[in-house]
Amino acid sequence: MKRIFALILVLLMLFPMVMSCKREEPEDPSSSSSSEEPSSSTPVATGPTPPIQHGFTSKESIMTDWSGKTLNVLVTRYGASANYPWGQVELCASSFGEGVGQAFDERQALIKDQYGVDVKWVPAIANQSVSGDLASAEISGGTTTFEIAIPRVHEVQTLVSSVYNMHESDYLDFTHDYFSMSAYESFTVSGYTLFAAGGHDFADEQSSYTMLFNKDMLAEKTPANLYDTIKDGTWTYEALTSISTLVSKDTNNDGYGDEDIYGFGTKSVTMYYYYFGVFEADVDPDTGMYRFALDLDIDKTEQVISLMKAAKSATWARVSGWGGHYGSAMHDAFAEGRLLFFNDVTQKIQEICASYELEFALGVAPFPKLNAEQEDYIVPVNKEQITVICIPKVTQDRQMSEYFLDVLSWTGKDYTVKAYYDIIEGSLDPETSADDMAIIEEHVFGNIAYDIGEITCGSGTSLAGHIKDATLGDSNFTTLIQEEGALLIDTVQGWNSSWGAYTDED
């Protein structure tokens, strides 16, 4: 009886498994009540989620069969060379070495392997312009299509009518670490997210402003560990100037010149207000629209402007004649050990190390805070290099565009952005590169901030130009607001009008 009872129990346990297997058998196509084939424009869900699957906010378990399709990506042309026909700066092996090119190839292969999709990089016909190509594609009535576009940031306003709103996407989640939250907040207005930034390329990282410094010269002047100061949040402008004045020396007593020693060199003091959190425009949390923000904290703004004016003539901050190319006087002075702190874009790390035989250890730091009360270090970006990513209205498959905008972003972070990190690390002292990279990643790249006013306006033509001219001239801030405020506010209202006129045809 015990054996019979045990057998009955086994059969009862197996019965649900048998029925489950029976339910999972594929249905006989001939018994289907419908003979409709899926349309070529409707993706078919097949197979399991691929091994590498980065997050969507929904449908995470659905793998769509895109096999055999081509993803046309319209990109800003940074150069018309046949050696890098894709046009993106990240793909220019001649500037960044074989590592980036190899990472790009690996990313292409991954996308092809995981999704069956060929990514076709289409350089914009008009040099450094995407808007013209999208406008032509719209006029052509769909004969020219692009699933994704990657323009430079200064084109965003002209592209508003040519791209889709990504704010309500089922797939895209801009809180992921491969998207820039600062860019998301800057480009989300009144329920519209028309542009994003992040891992699709490493333009943010290479164009972020950082401080390079001579570790050996610094150790001679102060026993303090600068990296500890950065980590505990006490790296301030006062600390920078105090150290810099200890270093500056007019060696010939004939006024500072090309043979003298400087504590601090910067490409432009006009970026000070940005470093210290005085933004030209932002999104009003109450209305969700852009607002002119420069006069929100007038006391702080006037304090920053005073520092900018003082820095023009300070002996420790020689600016005149010091350009941004690696052959400039400032780069020469730094490489020769005559300049302690040097402020420029992160890309200069690789360029300087490749162009000079440095006889000292090179360190990296964020630009300091205004004071200890400033919550975070703030890292501006060179607007000439920043790109954003968006979905053109001429796409033939919006779902595919959303899906692969995410794919390009996370694969970019895992492959091409990582390759750029490796290039930077390879330029640093192997004995200290781990500490240096930790500072770069957390305190420089981790604090990149978008000021919609500064990055979208050309110098001398709108917000940025008027502010810089006034603050570095004889005008005070009150005069700036009185004389230029109306124009600046009109500029901001122009952005709101552009976004407000947006229409989603779907």
Contact 55, 62 (CB under 8 A): no
Domain 54-61+69-205+385-425, CATH: 3.40.190.10
Express each pLDDT in 164-187 by its tens digit: 999 888 789 999 999 999 999 999
| Strand order across the 70-75 sheet | 118-123, 70-75, 148-150
Closest Cα to residue 381, out of 417, 345, 420?
345
Predicted local confidence at residue 301, as pLDDT: 85
Predicted local confidence at residue 203, as pLDDT: 85
> In whole angstroms, what is the distance from residue 2 CA to residue 71 CA?
65
Q: CB 465: neighbour CB atoms within 10 A?
A: 14
> In whole angstroms, what is the distance from residue 436 CA to residue 227 CA?
9
Contact 118, 149 (CB under 8 A): no
> In whole angstroms, what is the distance from residue 307 CA to residue 444 CA?
22
Predicted local confidence at residue 4, as pLDDT: 42
Predicted local confidence at residue 213, as pLDDT: 95
- Cα angle 285, 287, 289 (rounded to 5 degrees) comes to 90
> In whole angstroms, what is the distance from residue 75 CA to residue 501 CA?
25
Helix (H, G, I), strand (E, B) or coil at 45: strand
**What φ, ψ does residue 411 adopt, rounded to 5°?**
-70, -35
Specify the pairing of strand 262-266 against strand 339-345: parallel
Domain 54-61+69-205+385-425 shares a fold with domain 210-378+453-489: yes
Q: Which two tokens stand for residue 156?
A: 């965003």
- Mutual angle of helices 418-427 and 98-115, in 10-degree steps: 160
Predicted local confidence at residue 91, as pLDDT: 43
Residues in the chain with pLDDT values less than 70: 1-64, 77-98, 126-128, 141-142, 250, 253-258, 313-327, 457-472, 474-478, 480-485, 505-506
Q: Which CATH class is domain 210-378+453-489?
A: alpha beta
Helix (H, G, I), strand (E, B) or coil at 345: strand
Domain ranges in the chain? 54-61+69-205+385-425, 210-378+453-489
